[in-house]
A and B are shown apart, each in its own frame.
Chain A
Amino acid sequence: MASKHTIATRHAQGIRARFASRFLRSLLRLRRSGNRFGGSQSNDEGIGKRIRTDRIKIAAYAAMARAVGPRRTWSRALLFKLRNRARIHGVSRKRCLVSEKKRVTRNKVVAISSREPSRADTLRKLVPGGDSMDTCVLLEETAHYIKCLATQVTVMQSIADRLLL
Chain B
Amino acid sequence: MINRALLPAGGGENMLHCTDMTVLERQRARIKWQQEQQQQQFQLQQQEISYFTELADVFHQAGFHEGGLSEVVTRSVKPDPGLVDNGWNNDHVVGYGVGLPYNNGLGFELNYGAISRTSSCPPEAVAAVAAATVKGSESVVSDKISSGAGRESSKKRKVDKIQNNSKVVAEEDTRDKRIKGCAEQGESKITEKNNNKNSRNNNTNKNNNSNKENSDETSKDNSKVSEVQKPDYIHVRARRGQATDSHSLAERVRREKISERMKYLQDLVPGCDKITGKAGMLDEIINYVQSLQRQVEFLSMKLAAANPRLDFNVDNLFAKEAFPACSINFPTIGMSSDMTNPAYLQFNPAQQQLLACCGLDMGIDPPDMALKRTTSAPVSIPETFLDSSCFTQTHPPPTWDADLQNLYNVAFDQGRQTSFQTQPFTGDVKLSCLFLSALY
CA distance A56 to B308 in the complex (A): 13
- Asked if residues B292 and A149 are in contact (CB atoms below 8 Å), the reply is yes
Residues on B with C-beta less than 8 A from A146 are 265, 268-269, 285, 288-289, 292
Known: A32-B438, A53-B297. A42 touches B403 (CB 8 A): no
Is residue B435 contacting chain A, with contact meaning CB distance below 8 A? yes
| Contact of A31 (CB < 8 Å), options: B302, B307, B412, B418 | B307
Q: Which residues of A in the span 107-165 have a Cβ within 8 Å of any Cβ on B?
A: 119-120, 122-123, 126-127, 135-136, 139-140, 142-143, 145-147, 149-165
- Asked if residues A27 and B431 are in contact (CB atoms below 8 Å), the reply is no
Is residue B208 contacting chain A, with contact meaning CB distance below 8 A? no
- Asked if residues B261 and A123 are in contact (CB atoms below 8 Å), the reply is no
Q: Which residues of B in the span 243-300 have a Cβ within 8 Å of any Cβ on A?
A: 254, 257-258, 260-262, 264-265, 267-269, 279, 282-283, 285-286, 288-290, 292-293, 295-297, 299-300
Q: Which residue of B lies closest to A145 (CB)?
A: B289
Is residue A62 contacting chain B, with contact meaning CB distance below 8 A? no
Is residue B168 contacting chain A, with contact meaning CB distance below 8 A? no
Is residue A60 contacting chain B, with contact meaning CB distance below 8 A? yes
Is residue A25 contacting chain B, with contact meaning CB distance below 8 A? yes
Q: Which residue of B lies closest to A9 (CB)?
A: B383
Is residue B375 contacting chain A, with contact meaning CB distance below 8 A? yes
- Asked if residues A149 and B282 are in contact (CB atoms below 8 Å), the reply is no
CA distance A54 to B303 in the complex (A): 11
Q: Which residue of B lies closest to A120 (CB)?
A: B282
| Contact of A149 (CB < 8 Å), options: B261, B296, B438 | B296
Is residue B371 contacting chain A, with contact meaning CB distance below 8 A? no
- Asked if residues B407 and A35 are in contact (CB atoms below 8 Å), the reply is no
Residues on B with C-beta less than 8 A from A123 are 282, 285-286, 289
- Asked if residues A160 and B306 are in contact (CB atoms below 8 Å), the reply is yes
- Asked if residues A150 and B310 are in contact (CB atoms below 8 Å), the reply is no
| Contact of A24 (CB < 8 Å), options: B279, B408, B414 | B408
Is residue B198 contacting chain A, with contact meaning CB distance below 8 A? no
- Asked if residues A42 and B308 are in contact (CB atoms below 8 Å), the reply is yes
Residues on A with C-beta less than 8 A from B336 are none
Interface residues in chain A, defined as those with a beta carbon under 8 Å from any beta carbon in chain B:
1, 4-5, 10, 12-14, 16-17, 20-21, 24-25, 27-32, 34-35, 39, 42-43, 49, 52-57, 60-61, 119-120, 122-123, 126-127, 135-136, 139-140, 142-143, 145-147, 149-165
23 A-B residue contacts at CB 8 Å? A12-B381, A21-B431, A24-B407, A31-B307, A32-B438, A34-B311, A35-B314, A60-B300, A119-B283, A142-B265, A142-B285, A143-B261, A146-B285, A146-B288, A151-B384, A153-B292, A154-B387, A156-B300, A158-B387, A160-B299, A160-B302, A161-B372, A162-B406
Given A60-B300, A154-B379, 7 further pairs, Cβ under 8 A: A1-B264, A56-B300, A122-B286, A142-B265, A146-B288, A160-B302, A161-B372
